[in-house]
Structure 1
């Protein structure tokens, strides 16, 4: 019995290693979150594109919105995590402290949720992809897989869905609107923005001036 369990664990580990190495060269065929969106909304709108095809505006907008230390941290922003924990201890609306690397690990390899098991696996995958993949690859995988609307995944599909153009042609304001829907793309809609979204959009545009793609 134990021998079979050990063999199963070994097979799972080997498959994970191979999938991580494979992911350095290819985008995921499909993710658990995308499957969930397909069942929930009856569609899977996505279009994987290369890092160079994405254009700089949308990269800067998402980094400005989600993780301004992306190119300098090792996968974890400990100050942001500490700040989020202190905020959550006050019993207010739960705030995350996840980096783009952590979100990529979650989106590619895992499922949505806040269990300790999922967070532990997320930390493990984050550590590994930071070692095996480059920052550009991590950002490309993130921008191709992130949920950006109801059944809409990735910046290219979001750009076509909201603005009818390729992501490389987005101007600063349009790119900022794409980033504004994060982290609640099922609720927020750039086509019908609330006052809160308008404020966030303006804040992202200001922050984009400080983002360097290095």
Structure 2
């Protein structure tokens, strides 16, 4: 009888132990889903906060530098303390339709999609708003998923922020050289002048550095960089009609 009782009491224990792993798996999946949703929603909550001029956001790359124990240079500078020719050069190099679109240059993006579907080599179609979304909230790795996440974030930024605020944040979080973030630190590092004193040629060289700040050096430009800088310098001189949203 004692043996039978022990068996009876042991049976429920085995059933309970079989259920526990499944319960933990369900809890783990639930928490993972919660974390994923929180990560996806958080940018849309932070973007209105970043509309305040007193807030100086940092990029994911800056956070990664801090997490890895590396130091970086970044000096925040207000939009009005940046040479207009630098703003003109960056706009003409990175996003010529910045003032007219709502965060996304749909014409350029559709062209890239058509080229990809045709198996052709594609060019970039990222607007300044899309690049800002990537720099603030997303990893650097290129993927269709990242691009899909950039688009609604960029549109939300364009709704919540003024064009001046968007450009101000972009110029202050962009990487201009390894460990150098923001236009003020870049101007000092490359040319030893504040961002307000950049010349037309210096501004053009900085603008063409942006697509690849790891390999391109504005203070020691290659022939290709000099050629591109000459083109951007010319476009910047003629950009008056394109930058009214920033200076009117």
State TM-score, norm by structure 1. 0.87
How many residue pairs get aligned? The number is 212
Q: Could you tell me how far apart the structure 2 residues matched to 1:164 and 1:122 are?
A: 34
Q: Relative to structure 1, is the Cα distance of residues 162 and 39 closer, same or farther in structure 2, using a 3 angstrom cutoff? A: farther
Q: Relative to structure 1, is the Cα distance of residues 123 and 147 closer, same or farther in structure 2, using a 3 angstrom cutoff? A: same
Asked whether 1:121 is paired with 2:149, we answer: yes
Q: Could you tell me how far apart the structure 1 residues matched to 2:35 and 2:64 are?
A: 27
1 or 2, which has the higher helix percentage?
Answer: 2
Q: Could you tell me how far apart the structure 1 residues matched to 2:135 and 2:38 are?
A: 22
Asked whether 1:18 is paired with 2:45, we answer: yes
Greater radius of gyration (CA): 2
For structure 2, list consecutive stretches of 5 or more residues without a partner in the other structure. Answer: 1-26
Q: Relative to structure 1, is the Cα distance of residues 15 and 190 closer, same or farther in structure 2, using a 3 angstrom cutoff? A: closer
Which residue number corresponds to residue 216 of structure 2?
A: 188
Which residue number corresponds to residue 177 of structure 2?
A: 149
Report the CA distance between 1:147 and its aligned residue: 0.8
Where do residues 131-210 of structure 1 align in structure 2 (5 Å cutoff)? 131-210=159-238
DSSP-derived class of the 2:76 partner: coil
Between 33-42 and 123-132, report the one with greater CA deviation.
33-42
Q: Relative to structure 1, is the Cα distance of residues 182 and 14 closer, same or farther in structure 2, using a 3 angstrom cutoff? A: closer
Which residue number corresponds to residue 53 of structure 1?
A: 81
For structure 1, list consecutive stretches of 5 or more residues without a partner in the other structure. Answer: none
DSSP-derived class of the 2:212 partner: coil
Asked whether 1:98 is paired with 2:126, we answer: yes
Report the CA distance between 1:78 and its aligned residue: 1.9
User: Contact 1:61–1:176 at 8 Å: present in 2 too?
Assistant: yes
Report the CA distance between 1:79 and its aligned residue: 2.3
Residues 13-46 of structure 1, C-alpha deviations (whole Å, 9 max, x = no match): 6643431111111221x32122345678943111
DSSP-derived class of the 1:190 partner: coil
Q: Relative to structure 1, is the Cα distance of residues 41 and 79 closer, same or farther in structure 2, using a 3 angstrom cutoff? A: farther
User: Contact 2:190–2:218 at 8 Å: present in 1 too?
Assistant: yes
Q: Relative to structure 1, is the Cα distance of residues 37 and 96 closer, same or farther in structure 2, using a 3 angstrom cutoff? A: farther
Residues 128-172 of structure 1, C-alpha deviations (whole Å, 9 max, x = no match): 111111111110110000111111111111100011111111111
Asked whether 1:31 is paired with 2:67, we answer: no
Q: Could you tell me how far apart the structure 1 residues matched to 2:225 and 2:40 are?
A: 42
Higher relative contact order (CA 8 A, sep 6+): 1
DSSP-derived class of the 1:69 partner: coil
Between 100-109 and 5-14, report the one with greater CA deviation.
5-14
Q: Could you tell me how far apart the structure 2 residues matched to 1:114 and 1:78 are?
A: 19
State TM-score, norm by structure 2. 0.76
**What is the root-mean-square deviation of aligned Cα atoms in Å?**
2.6
